[in-house]
């Protein structure tokens, strides 16, 4: 069986060996075992269902949300001599009928479909006339409400499976799923102890860095200028921001493109092609850009704004260095980004439970921006890796040579202030009380009468907030999952208050100078 798979790998794709994980998936699928595969972008997921599709009898249905990419994928397969087609809303109904007829005549091995299509009676009746050996679900995280890109149309997949006369082998693929999302996918598809292939999430060739307090525009102009021979992506949160960065770079004579949902389809395709063929050096885009774009020589991905969660961040940042050569992933953080994302989450759904979950994920993203620990470890742990080393020597925190300072006394002051405020307030209010602010809310709750009022008056509010964020990022504090998170103490904080452990934080030279001068 493996031999046959290897022969096909060579014959149709021209490769000599499987990449990590591919063999396990292919062999299991050929043995009829349902499989869930979580592999980073670029790991080579497509081959994992295409090769079994060629070996298994009948056809394989591939469910994909990316209508715009189906044609490219099918064309590429056709060029390799693999009989494939797609059915989606971009086709005229006469063309759909023609393709369905060809499908019923077993003329294809792979059929790509948009999930919306699955529930139509006509489609189901055609499919029930032929053998569907396998259902491959691409971007399977779209099934889960806890994933970063839930799509209601994916809810049609499970009823569709039940509507088939005989149940096909089921394979689900995604680049980003937390352990929670993985379990949800298995539950929603009703898979019974499937083969689960999780490839290491680490991308050792990527350098991660978080920069706070930069003049973002200046930073970007300098960066793009200094990397003029390299291809990069700059992600921003809103269309408006994309346009303004694009204009700025263009004014400076830099070869930039822009991409967001407000630009016409034709123009977007043109921009995308220009980027793929290196006519454009840097693409400024919202998160609408990139899904499925196979450009291997992207050398840097800069996030002008913090994204809404780690999955989105890792997927976008992970578009750099797909060729295995070094890639740089830079996140320019500003507190305003948190407000923007909160707004976007707030308007994205009515479902309160989902909203709370999204706010929780946003907080983890904020923690990433504040953790003094290894950024790589933070990411891979998030995806369920338990044995990540403490340092990677290839992220801005591991390379940060600033001084490690004992901040136990400050931390104790902060914790006891939170305790005295009954763990019922957010970071801003706590920082105001510690600073000794006369702000209306502080006075309304009579916090000017508690013993920790003004206990950090020598610090700026900004600095106090930063320390609190870092204490949250290092598990001394937790924040509730809501639009206005409330800060709570953890057992770690209690241990510090009791004098049983100490707290250390790296403090950069500039920040130390600021603190010293404010003392
Ligand atoms: P993913 O869907 O996981 O992001 P793709 O399926 O698009 O990844 O594959 C990424 C690239 O890796 C493609 O260009 C593909 O041809 C190539 N690839 C896949 N498997 C192998 C392999 N075994 N050997 C060499 N290249 C491979």
| Mean model confidence pLDDT for the chain | 92
SS3 letters for 261-320?
Answer: CCCCHHHHHHHHHHHHCCCCCEEEECCCCCCCCCCCCEEEEEECCCCCCHHHHHHHHCCC
Percent of the chain with pLDDT over 70: 97
Distances (CA, A) of 78 to 72, 83, 103, 108: 10, 6, 15, 10
d(CA 258, CA 246): 6
Name which residue sits closest to atom 20 of ligand 1, judged by CA. 44
pTM score of the predicted model = 0.79
Whether pLDDT at 30 is above 90: yes
Is the CB–ligand 1 distance for residue 323 below 6 Å?
no
Handedness of CA 369, 371, 372, 378 (dihedral sign): negative
Is the CB–ligand 1 distance for residue 294 below 6 Å?
yes
* 136 beta partners: 62, 171
Chain center to CA of 63: 21
pLDDT at 62: 97
pLDDT at 517: 57
Is the CB–ligand 1 distance for residue 44 below 6 Å?
yes
Q: What is the DSSP letter of 200?
A: -
Whether pLDDT at 516 is above 70: no
d(CA 362, CA 236): 16
pLDDT confidence bin for 58, thresholds 50/70/90: very high
On the CB side of 296, CA atoms within 13 Å amount to: 6
Q: Which residue has the higher pLDDT, 484 or 207?
A: 207
The DSSP secondary structure of 369-433, one letter per residue, reads HH--S-HHHHHHHHTT-S---S--SSBTTTT--PEEEE-HHHHHHHHHHHHHTTT---HHHHHHH
Atom of ligand 1 nearest to the CA of 46: 6
Is the CB–ligand 1 distance for residue 42 below 6 Å?
yes
pLDDT at 146: 87
Is the CB–ligand 1 distance for residue 101 below 6 Å?
no
Structure tokens at 161: 């499976």
Name which residue sits closest to atom 9 of ligand 1, judged by CA. 44
Name which residue sits closest to atom 23 of ligand 1, judged by CA. 18
Whether pLDDT at 128 is above 90: no
Q: Are 503 and 406 in contact (CB under 8 A)?
A: yes
Name which residue sits closest to atom 5 of ligand 1, judged by CA. 44
Q: Are 170 and 133 in contact (CB under 8 A)?
A: no
Mapped onto helix, strand or coil, the DSSP state of residue 503 is coil
Whether pLDDT at 14 is above 70: yes
Is the CB–ligand 1 distance for residue 41 below 6 Å?
yes
ipTM: 0.98
Is the CB–ligand 1 distance for residue 15 below 6 Å?
yes
Average pLDDT over every residue of 74-99: 93
Mapped onto helix, strand or coil, the DSSP state of residue 190 is coil
Atom of ligand 1 nearest to the CA of 18: 23
pLDDT confidence bin for 72, thresholds 50/70/90: confident
d(CA 354, CA 150): 10
Q: How far is the CA of 191 from the centre of ligand 1 (A)?
A: 26
Average pLDDT over every residue of 334-347: 91
Atom of ligand 1 nearest to the CA of 45: 3
pLDDT confidence bin for 510, thresholds 50/70/90: low
Q: At what angle do helices 408-420 and 427-435 cross, to 10 degrees?
A: 110
pLDDT in tens, 463-479: 999 999 999 988 899 99
* Of 5, 17, 47, best ligand 1 pocket probe by most atoms within 8 Å of the beta carbon: 47
Q: How far is the CA of 135 from the centre of ligand 1 (A)?
A: 20
Is the CB–ligand 1 distance for residue 5 below 6 Å?
no
Q: What is the DSSP letter of 19?
A: P
pLDDT confidence bin for 513, thresholds 50/70/90: low
Q: How far is the CA of 25 from the centre of ligand 1 (A)?
A: 14
Is the CB–ligand 1 distance for residue 19 below 6 Å?
yes
d(CA 116, CA 491): 48
Burial of residue 509, with CB atoms counted within 10 A of its CB: 0-12 exposed, 13-18 middle, 19 or more buried: exposed
Whether pLDDT at 511 is above 80: no
Burial of residue 253, with CB atoms counted within 10 A of its CB: 0-12 exposed, 13-18 middle, 19 or more buried: exposed
pLDDT confidence bin for 337, thresholds 50/70/90: very high
Q: How far is the CA of 468 from the centre of ligand 1 (A)?
A: 43
The DSSP secondary structure of 45-107, one letter per residue, reads HHHHHHHHHHHSSSEEEEE-S-HHHHHHHHHHHHHTT--EEEE-TTS-HHHHHHHHHHHHTT-
Q: Are 452 and 417 in contact (CB under 8 A)?
A: yes
Name which residue sits closest to atom 17 of ligand 1, judged by CA. 44
Average pLDDT over every residue of 300-319: 95
pLDDT in tens, 377-403: 999 999 888 888 999 999 999 998 888
Structure tokens at 368: 């990433």
Average pLDDT over every residue of 177-184: 93
Q: How far is the CA of 241 from the centre of ligand 1 (A)?
A: 33
Mapped onto helix, strand or coil, the DSSP state of residue 155 is helix
Is the CB–ligand 1 distance for residue 73 below 6 Å?
no
The DSSP secondary structure of 189-256, one letter per residue, reads HT-SS-EEEE-----TTEEEEEEES--HHHHHHHHHHHTTTSEEEEE-SSHHHHHHHHHHHHHTT--E
pLDDT at 293: 73
* Of 6, 40, 46, 48, best ligand 1 pocket probe by most atoms within 8 Å of the beta carbon: 46
pLDDT in tens, 191-201: 999 999 998 78
pLDDT at 387: 83
Q: How far is the CA of 174 from the centre of ligand 1 (A)?
A: 14
Atom of ligand 1 nearest to the CA of 9: 23
Q: At what angle do helices 45-55 and 22-30 cross, to 10 degrees?
A: 30
Q: How far is the CA of 13 from the centre of ligand 1 (A)?
A: 10
* Of 2, 44, 53, best ligand 1 pocket probe by most atoms within 8 Å of the beta carbon: 44
Name which residue sits closest to atom 18 of ligand 1, judged by CA. 44
d(CA 417, CA 438): 16
Q: How far is the CA of 328 from the centre of ligand 1 (A)?
A: 21
d(CA 280, CA 273): 9
Q: How far is the CA of 285 from the centre of ligand 1 (A)?
A: 24
Whether pLDDT at 214 is above 80: yes
Handedness of CA 241, 247, 249, 251 (dihedral sign): negative
Highest mean pLDDT among 19-23, 70-74, 220-224: 220-224
Mapped onto helix, strand or coil, the DSSP state of residue 220 is helix
Q: How far is the CA of 22 from the centre of ligand 1 (A)?
A: 10
pLDDT at 49: 98
* 406 beta partners: 504
Handedness of CA 69, 75, 79, 84 (dihedral sign): positive
Q: How far is the CA of 143 from the centre of ligand 1 (A)?
A: 24
Distances (CA, A) of 407 to 410, 452, 507, 511, 519: 5, 17, 10, 14, 15
């Amino acid at each position: 069986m493996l031999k046959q798979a290897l022969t096909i790998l060579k014959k149709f794709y021209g490769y000599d060996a499987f990449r990590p994980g591919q063999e396990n998936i292919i062999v299991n699928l050929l043995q009829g075992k349902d499989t869930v595969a979580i592999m980073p972008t670029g790991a080579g997921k497509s081959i994992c269902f295409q090769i079994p599709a060629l070996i298994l009898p009948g056809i394989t249905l591939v469910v994909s949300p990316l209508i715009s990419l189906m044609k490219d994928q099918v064309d590429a397969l056709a060029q390799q001599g693999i009989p494939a087609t797609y059915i989606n809303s971009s086709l005229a109904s006469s063309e759909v009928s023609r393709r369905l007829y060809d499908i019923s005549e077993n003329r294809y091995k792979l059929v790509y479909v948009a999930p919306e299509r699955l529930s139509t009676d006509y489609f189901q009746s055609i499919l029930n006339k032929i053998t569907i050996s396998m259902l491959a679900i691409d971007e399977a995280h779209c099934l889960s409400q806890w994933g970063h890109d839930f799509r209601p149309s994916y809810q049609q997949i499970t009823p569709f499976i039940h509507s088939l006369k005989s149940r096909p082998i089921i394979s689900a693929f995604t680049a980003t799923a937390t352990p929670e999302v993985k379990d949800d996918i298995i539950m929603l598809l009703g898979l019974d102890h499937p083969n689960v292939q999780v490839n290491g999430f680490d991308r050792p060739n990527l350098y991660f860095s978080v920069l706070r307090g930069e003049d973002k525009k200046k930073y970007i102009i300098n960066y793009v200028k200094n990397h003029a021979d390299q291809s990069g992506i700059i992600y921003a949160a809103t269309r408006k921001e994309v346009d303004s960065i694009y204009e700025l770079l263009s004014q400076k004579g830099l070869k930039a493109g822009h991409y967001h949902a407000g630009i016409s389809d034709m123009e977007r395709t043109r921009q995308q092609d220009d980027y793929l063929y290196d006519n454009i050096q840097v693409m400024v885009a919202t998160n609408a850009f990139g899904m499925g774009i196979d450009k291997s020589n992207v050398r840097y991905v800069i996030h002008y704004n913090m994204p809404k969660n780690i999955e989105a961040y890792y997927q976008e940042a992970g578009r750099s260095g797909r060729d295995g050569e070094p890639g740089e992933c830079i996140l320019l953080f500003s507190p305003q980004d948190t407000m923007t994302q909160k707004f976007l989450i707030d308007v994205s759904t009515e479902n309160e439970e989902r909203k709370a979950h999204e706010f929780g994920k946003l907080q983890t993203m904020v923690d990433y921006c504040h953790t003094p620990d290894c950024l790589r470890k933070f990411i891979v742990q998030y995806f369920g890796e338990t044995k990540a080393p403490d340092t990677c020597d290839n992220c801005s925190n591991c390379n940060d040579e600033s001084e490690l300072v004992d901040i136990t006394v400050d931390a104790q002051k902060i914790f006891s202030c939170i305790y005295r405020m009954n763990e019922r307030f957010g970071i801003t209010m706590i920082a105001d009380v510690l600073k000794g602010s006369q702000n209306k809310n502080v006075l309304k709750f009579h916090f000017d009468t508690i013993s920790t009022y003004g206990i950090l008056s020598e610090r700026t509010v900004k600095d106090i907030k930063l320390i609190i964020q870092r204490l949250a990022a290092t598990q001394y504090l937790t924040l509730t999952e809501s639009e206005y998170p409330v800060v709570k103490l953890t057992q770690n904080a209690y241990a510090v208050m009791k004098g049983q452990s100490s707290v250390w934080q790296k403090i950069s030279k500039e920040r130390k100078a600021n603190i010293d001068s404010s003392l």
